[in-house]
Amino acid sequence: MDKKIAILGSGAIGSSVVADLTQAKFDVTIFDQWPEHVETMKTKGLHIKFPDEDLKIKVRAHHLCELASVKMEFDIALIVVKSYDTRWMAELIKPYLKSGGVVVGMQNSMNDDAIASIIGRERTIGCVVELSGEIFTPGIVQRDTTRPGTWFSVGELDGSFTSRLEEIQSLLSNVGVTEMTNNIYGSKWTKLIANSMTMGPFGSFGLPNWEALKLPGMFDISVALGKESMAVGAALDYRMEPIFGLSEKEFSGPPEEILVTAMNTLMKHVGKKSTTAPIHDHIKGRKSEIGLINGLVSSKGKELGVPTPFNDVVTEIASQINSGELKMDVSNFELLKTRLAQAE
């Protein structure tokens, strides 16, 4: 592929993607707003620590403020930032896209329509991401998922299969297992269901994922969260889709069984020592995106008349952590159970 690729955002996922694509000899440039990280990438490159590999590689990196001065136009832009940064990031890259350029939103939550409202639906491709990692030191990423354990699903917003979709699939296959779907909205909501069961509640405890899941009663709470998210998705006419590389057979059965399969598969992929993204955000002193995961379930539920008491409580606690009213701590599990009991 002889095309210029921009990656907007160099957290754990963006850094992992740029490292793998650079190693595969693609023309890729990364832009980010963390000054120390960008300067480290410029001088030392990236160090990606896999469970089964160590990758040190030089990459082309720039500060966001340098986007105008590098005088480049891109065929493909991958947006890999927090969901709440989606709109301004799409506006930022828009003038630097070639006439036939496309934007791929590699994020949690449901951001494709927001991107499309700025870039155009005909220039927007959706992507479901399962790549777990963390970055606290500039230039160094702990990637929890191996390449075979990393999974993407890409799809045109209108459900069609196109040559450019095949091109994006081929591109991301250098980072992990990549599939195409004709149901990108359903795929993304299915991932959001899994995230609502784990990221939201686990993110308030400050515990590794597997430790959080073992808290007495947590499994049942996660399933209840998933049921609400599934009900809202059904009201939105989203059709659940096998994710994380699961087959149709593996993703079939009663709704509760599907939820448990999705959650257990996600936990297996991220590894037993990994912590969820909201914990990383809290440590870094920035807000989490739970307001656009469990919070999206809650807001859509209110619009559609679908009760979401469990997601409402998780969203409320996450908001209090974001504002500094609460500290991220395992004691929030008792708070969660108390508020859930009051909500029922």
Q: What is the CATH number of the domain that holds 318?
A: 1.10.1040.10
| Whether residue 177 is found in the same domain as residue 198 | no
Q: Is the pLDDT of residue 250 over 80?
A: no
CA dist 312 and 306 (Å) reads 12
Reported as a pLDDT band with limits 50, 70 and 90, residue 78 is: very high
Q: Given 182, 211, 246, which residue is the final one in a domain?
A: 182
Can you give the pLDDT at residue 138?
97
| Whether residue 207 is found in the same domain as residue 175 | no
| Whether residue 152 is found in the same domain as residue 30 | yes
| Whether residue 12 is found in the same domain as residue 126 | yes
| Whether residue 27 is found in the same domain as residue 97 | yes
Can you give the pLDDT at residue 264?
77
| Whether residue 217 is found in the same domain as residue 174 | no
| Whether residue 325 is found in the same domain as residue 244 | yes
Can you give the pLDDT at residue 270?
67
Range of the domain at 69: 4-182
| Whether residue 46 is found in the same domain as residue 167 | yes
- Look up the pTM and report it: 0.93
| Whether residue 90 is found in the same domain as residue 164 | yes
**16, part of any domain:** yes
* Mean pLDDT (the chain, rounded): 93
> Which CB contacts under 8 angstroms, 24+ apart, belong to 301-307?
301/228, 301/231, 301/232, 301/235, 304/232, 304/235, 304/236, 305/235, 306/228, 306/231, 306/232, 306/235, 307/228
**187, part of any domain:** no
**pLDDT tens profile 288-313:** 999 999 999 999 999 999 999 999 99
**188, part of any domain:** no
**226, part of any domain:** yes
Strands 151-156 and 124-130: antiparallel
| Whether residue 152 is found in the same domain as residue 283 | no
| Whether residue 87 is found in the same domain as residue 236 | no
| Whether residue 138 is found in the same domain as residue 37 | yes
**221, part of any domain:** yes
**Domain total in the chain:** 2
Q: What is the mean pLDDT of residues 204-216?
A: 91
